[in-house]
Amino acid sequence: MLLSKLNNPMCSNRFRKHFRWLPFGVLLLFSFSTKAQEKPTEINDLNQLWNQYGLSEKQHAGLVIHDVDLHRDIFSFKPDNFFIPASNIKILTMYASLYYLKDTIEAGWYLESGDSLIVWGGGDPGTLYPDIDTTSYFIDFLKNNPKFIYFSENHFQTTRFGKGWAWDDYPFTYQCERNAFPIYGNRIWIQRTHDTLTIVPTYLASVIQVAKDTFNDTGKSEWGDGYFYTYDGKHEIEEEEIPITFFKNDLKYCWSEATNRQIEYIDRPFVPGAKPIPGSLRDTLIKEMMYESDNLIAEQLLLACSQKAFGEMNEELAIGRLLFGPLAEFKQDVEWVDGSGLSRYNLATPRLMIEVLSQMIRVKGIDYMKTVMPAGGKSGTLIADFKGKNGLPYIYAKSGSLKHTYCLSGILVTKSGKVLLFSWMNNQYQGTQRELKSNMEKIFSFLYDQY
């Protein structure tokens, strides 16, 4: 069922130490030579294949293919050009999460003062999110605490929407609001069987206009002051989601309903000595973010990184710390503004993606990376694309899609067992995405068979 929760959350391999205690060497990249006598036969063929399909003639395209064992590129085309990466930016958010966050992230922080319990949200997106297998410790903690509960959002020092997000995406769940206390994935969940509806949170059920007709239509008004759900009765069962617009008291009442406790707000700066409240498993969130390209999880993870490092939620702080710290060598290769890739202000080079993937493989290992990234023909956003022969996946990668944009960065395991990293960015492409993917797959298949 849509609203059921599992009691045994999945937990994958974990860090025992922070990234900051590990060496972050820079892998030396070698540019692909244009001299025929210096190129292996298969690279000659790959170059001809690239030219044959004209994959850079009608769009802005860049591709880097990197041999992990040899520590060098075997093919590169515009490796240092900037592209809008779309959801490939989640690769950087994953890096940030591994760098800043422990195995279990904080759902909140609390301070007891007399008969009061003051709580600051940790930004954990897993609280009562039906798509995520996680514990409800935060909810139980609030339910069972006898003190008066006060929420503070003083540490939320950013905006509900990110810079460069499209204003007209407000009715879609891929652009949910950000906040310090996410709950239910910051969505309204509608489950219908015939004419019987279950709506969570029930607090918002009264403001949804429900109608039965010969078509389906679900969404909300531009200002978020009204929701609507129109359904076609010929479909017996249906599930829908609507992003919540949180007005002044909406978040408070949603949490009060979930905990069966009265919750009030107080404007109190975050106290460094506040005690943590355990939340979701970091790797569970990372996997959901990568598999389903969940934008809310990505945004909230980056805010959780900022809260952990600085005591306030501001994505610019977390990004700045990384770009002037472990990624300082590559800060000239990126304009990074959000956690999800929704923003068209983001710019990145294929070379940057290769470097970040390389560093995560060095620390976490190839098996971990294959576990948390969608597998071609098998899982997540790649379930229908880049299928391997005999049903065995050979592509493990993060896709990124916006209008006229399709990017794919990840791992390719060849028939011989060699591990290649690739970052392929396509901007301003015309035609269908299916046609583009078909030509990309020809290159990938060649690599699988020949390298």
What stretches in the chain show pLDDT beneath 50?
A: 1-43
Residue 62 and residue 407 in contact, taking contact as beta carbons nearer than 8 Å: no
Question: At a CB cut-off of 8 Å and minimum separation 6, what does 184 contact?
Answer: 127, 128, 129, 130, 200, 201, 244, 254
What integer pLDDT is reported at residue 343 of this predicted model? 98
Q: Which of 324, 288, 307 minimizes the C-alpha distance to 94?
A: 288
- Burial of 41-54, coded b for 16+ CB within 10 Å and e otherwise, reads eebeebbebbeeee
Q: Beta-carbon neighbour count of residue 206 at 10 Å?
A: 7
- Look at residue 250 and give its three-state secondary structure: helix
Residue 81 and residue 60 in contact, taking contact as beta carbons nearer than 8 Å: yes
Give, in order, the Cα–Cα distances in Å from 410 to each of 133, 356, 358, 425: 25, 10, 10, 12
CATH 3.40.50.1970 fits 19-98+329-450, yes or no: no
What integer pLDDT is reported at residue 44 of this predicted model? 55
Beta strand pairing call for 148-152 and 227-232:
unpaired
**Helix or strand holding residue 164 (H, E):** none
What integer pLDDT is reported at residue 170 of this predicted model? 95
Residue 63 and residue 350 in contact, taking contact as beta carbons nearer than 8 Å: yes
**Helix or strand holding residue 149 (H, E):** strand 148-152
**Helix or strand holding residue 217 (H, E):** strand 217-220
The one-character DSSP state at 385 is: S
What integer pLDDT is reported at residue 431 of this predicted model? 86
DSSP letters spanning 67-80: ETTTTEEEEEESTT
What integer pLDDT is reported at residue 131 of this predicted model? 86
Ranges of each domain in the chain:
19-98+329-450, 104-291
